[in-house]
Amino acid sequence: MKRTLGLCTLLLYFSSVFSQTSGSWTPDLGNGNFTNPLMWGDWPDPDIIRVDDKFYFISTSMHYVPGCPIAVSSDLVNWEMGGYAVSRYEEDPRYDLKGGDMYLSGSWAATLRYHNGTFYAGFCTPKMESKEGHFSICSAKNINGPWTRTIFPEFLYDPGLFFDDDGRVYVAHGQQTLYITELNSDVKSVKVPQRKIYDNPGFPYLEGSHLYKVNKKYYILGSTGGTRGKVVCLRSDNIYGPYESKVVMQDDHTYPGNGLHQGGMVQLKDGAWWSIIMQDRGPIGRVPNLEPVTWIDDWPIFGKNGIGVDTFPKPININAPVTVPASSDEFNAPTLALQWQWNHNPDNSKWSLTGRSGYLRLKAGKAATLFQAVNTLSQRVEGPYSTGSIEMDISSMKDNDVAGLGIFQLPYAYVAVRQTNGKKTIVMAQNDSTIAVVNLKQTKIWFKANVNEKGFVATFAYSVNGKDFLPIGNELKMGLGLDWTANRFALFNFNTGLSTTATGGHVDINWFRR
C-alpha cells in the first residue's frame, strides 16, 4: 500500500540536523538556534524579501523548467516551496530540444521585489554563444502565480531590481563595470538607458547586484572573485553615484577555498537585518547560508565581523514546525509537486499523472543519449548525504526504450531497464556507456541512487522485491561539466531506435522517496 507523505512538513524533535529517515537536511536545531548551511543543496544566486510576516526567497535555475523557484518562510530558517516565476521558455525552439539544446541558459541571477501589491521577479538570459542576451521581468499578484513575463531586448547582466521612494524603478547590473538602467513605472520597458556608475579592476568579476536604500543612502551588494569570492558593498547618496566601496564579508572557513559571496539582505519587523548568501560546494551546488547583518558606520557587515556563523540564535523564535522543501513524492496529486523540474521544456504529450492514477507515466521519446532526451524529470541532490529510490512498472516498455533513475550532470550515470528484441535487462551506465548488465524477467523493479558529499560520489543499486538492494556498476565521480549547475536525481524514459513516426513504450513510476 502506498503511503501518503506531507508535502513539506517534517517534524523533527531530535537535535541531529540530518535525518536518514526524512532524507532532508534541516538547519533548525529545535532549541531556538539554527546551523548553516540553510539549505544543503543547489539554491544559487539567492534574493530575499519580506512582505508583512512572510519571507520570500528566489533562486536561479538555469535551463530547468519551470524556472526561478520561490520558497516561503515565516522565520527565515524553515522553508517550503511556493512556486515558480517562469512556467516555460518560448523564445527559442532549442528549449524544446529542437535543433539543439539550451543547457546553462534560461534564468540567471534572479531578483525579487514587491511593490504596490505586486511581486516582481527578474533575471537575465545570456546567449551561451556570445556575451549578449536578454532580460526578463515576471509579475504576479500572488506568489503562487499566475505570473506574466515580459522579455526586454536589453541585456541587463545579473540584475538587481529596485523601487525607489518616489516610485521610480531601477535595475543595477553588470560585471565589474556596473550600470543603472531606469525602467518605466509599468516595469515593462526601459525608460532611461544604462548609465555607468562603477568600475574597479580591484574587484574582478564584481556581479550579482542587489540594490537597496537605507537611511537615504543607496547600497549595492555584489560578489567579486567568483567561486572564491567575497561580498562587496557599494554606497552612495545618489542612485547614479559616485559610489564608495567596502568588503563586508570575506570567509571560506566552512568550505575552504570557496567563499561566501553572493546574495541579498532583508530587514525584519523588529528592525534587524539578515542576509542569505551562497557558497559554491562543488557538485552539490551553490548552497545558501543565513547570516546576521550588523550596521557599523553605516555599512552592513555580514556574519560576525565579516565571518560566517555556524550555529546562531534564530532570527525569529516562533513556535513553528520544522519544514523543508519537499523531496519525496507518491504521485497521488493531479499536478507535479513543486520540487520537480524538467531538463528543458517538457513535451506534455509524453508524460502524465492521470494515465494511471497514483503513478507518474513517462512515455519514451526519441533520443540517442540521456543528455538529448526530453522529459527528464529532476530534483536537487543534497549534502551531506542523500538517497533517492523509485518503484517502476516496466510492463509497457518497447524495444530500445531505456528507463530508470540517474544522477544528472556532466558526467552523468544511471541505473535503468533497457529492452532489446523483447528482452529486458538492468543496466548501469555512465554517459550512456554500459558498465554492468543484469538479466531481468519481471515487470516491476526498484532502483536506488546514493549521493555522498564526501568525495562527491554516487552509487546505484537495484531490487527485485523492493526490500533487498544489490549494488550495480561502479561509482560516479560527480562533476560540473555543466558550469554552475549541481547534480540532480533524474527520472527518465527515452528510446534510442525510433523513426520519426514510431512511438516508444511507457513506464509507470509509483513513487520517488528520499
How far are the Cα atoms of 79, 115, 185 from residue 169, in angstroms, in the given order?
29, 10, 6
Question: CA 506 to CA 491: how far, in whole Å?
Answer: 13
CA distance 244 to 249: 16
3-state secondary structure of 94: helix
| Residue 273 contacts residue 300 (beta carbons within 8 Å) | yes
| Backbone phi and psi for residue 347, each to the nearest 5 degrees, phi listed first | -90, 100
CA 328 – CA 337 distance, rounded (Å): 9
Q: Going by DSSP bridges, is the β-strand pair 79-86/67-73 parallel, antiparallel, or unpaired? A: antiparallel
Find the catalytic residue in 45, 280, 401, 432.
45
The alpha carbon torsion through 62, 67, 73, 78 (nearest 10 deg) reads -50
d(C-alpha 167, C-alpha 151), whole Å: 22
| DSSP class of 263 | E
Give which of 198, 223, 199, 201 is closest to 210, Cα–Cα. 223
Is 207 assigned a catalytic role?
Answer: yes
Q: How many CB atoms lie within 10 A of CB 348?
A: 9
In which region does residue 69 sit, left (phi positive, over 0), alpha (psi from -120 to 50) or beta (all else)?
A: beta
CB atoms within 10 A of CB 63: 23
Decide: 208 and 46 in contact? Cβ < 8 Å. Answer: no
Catalytic residue among 28, 47, 158, 207: 207
Beta bridge partners of 500: none
Q: How far apart are CA 128 and CA 94, in angstroms?
A: 12
Instruction: Determine the longest span between alpha carbons in the chain, in angstroms.
Output: 74
Contact residues for 7 (Cβ-Cβ < 8 A; gap 6+): 80, 326, 337
Does residue 45 carry a catalytic annotation?
yes
Burial pattern 298-328, b for ≥16 Cβ within 10 A else e, equals: ebbbbbeebbbbeebebbbeeeeebbbbbbb
Rounded to an integer, what distance in angstroms lies between the CA atom of residue 121 and that of residue 85? Answer: 7
By annotation, the residues acting in catalysis are 45, 207
